[in-house]
Amino acid sequence: MLTVDLGQSGSRISSGQALIYSTRGKLAGEPPLSSLRAVFESIEKLQADTVALSCTGFRGVVTDPQPFLALCNEFFGASKVAVMDDGLAGFIGALGGGNGVVLSIGGGVVSVGRNDTHFAHRDGLESTFGDEGGGFWLGKLGLTRALGIRQGRGDDQILLEILKDQVLAYDALAIKNAADAASLAIASAQVLLAAADAGSPTAIAIRDEGAALLAQTVIATWLGAGGSLDDAPEIAIQGGPSKNPAYVSAIRKNISHSLPQAKFVSARGDNLDGALWIAENMPHDVEPLLRWSHGAGRLINAVK
């Protein structure tokens, strides 16, 4: 069994006891299939009959799995492929399939909830029109404001000082609006949150807005799965920006305003754990979040 987690800031591949990291992730505007080919070309040769692919970029609707089977057959000799939205993999990994919501914050944002037989998926709309509160969103706003302050548009010297390396990295970009710029924005997210921790008023405002937007995403996910505001679902928050305690605290506080009985829990596992569990325990399609390549009968779980 081979499991793959394709993200915006990099990828991970698990094969038995081996865990392989790749800095190659899904670039802005690139389809998941092309991203995976680039990742597979960058790693050592592996063999697997079954491959489970957790991918960013589907926006909640997994496309035809056959090209993914062909790709995995080419690189790994695979005969079966489970292709899934990364939000589903994150949800299963974090909550083990129980009722609740998992908010995954990386370079982007995806939120998946389950209420008995109903699933819901929110955001995952990618950086141009979505992923509000995620790493790209945080880093872009922080670096945008730092660059403006350097030009005299604003006066937050704490922000400018803490983001000085990011400002220099921006200056070094040959093209200011290409994939490298998006990667810089994602890489700047943790620095923006550190600036908020240091008292930057601009960074605090960005952090608080992001937390409010992410809380809205979580609430919409639970209601979309058929839940109500009186319920007590488990809610897990995971991903790179969630390593900042103040950000997580602000997100939880905003969620509790609308969903006061929510139970905040730590994620029990990650996307790789979820992808493995799904491949071993969910042999049928769950449209539109999970599709197998072998045409097995479909498990009908409406995703509203």
Domains defined along the chain, listed by start: 2-90+270-299 (3.30.420), 96-129+207-265 (3.30.420.40), 135-194 (no CATH)
Q: How confident is the model at residue 295 (pLDDT cuts 50, 70, 90)?
A: very low
| Residue 64 CB neighbours (<10 A) | 11
Cα–Cα distance for residue pair 283/267, rounded to 1 Å: 24
**pLDDT score at 301:** 40
Average pLDDT of the residues in 192-212: 98
Looking up tokens 């400018």, which residue turns up? 160
- Residue 21 burial by Cβ neighbours in a 10 Å radius (0-12, 13-18, 19+): exposed
User: pLDDT band at 261, cuts 50/70/90?
Assistant: very high
What's the angle, vertex CA 194, arms to CA 237 and CA 88, rounded to 5? 20
CB atoms within 10 A of CB 27: 17
Q: What is the pTM of this model?
A: 0.82
Question: Which of 112-126, 193-207, 230-244 shows the lowest per-residue confidence on average (mean pLDDT)?
Answer: 112-126
**Does residue 245 surpass a pLDDT of 50?**
yes
Residue 80: closest CA among 302, 279, 285, 288 = 279
**Averaged pLDDT of the chain:** 92
SS3 171: helix
Asked whether the predicted pLDDT for residue 53 surpasses 70, the reply is: yes
Q: Does the structure show a pLDDT above 90 at 275?
A: yes
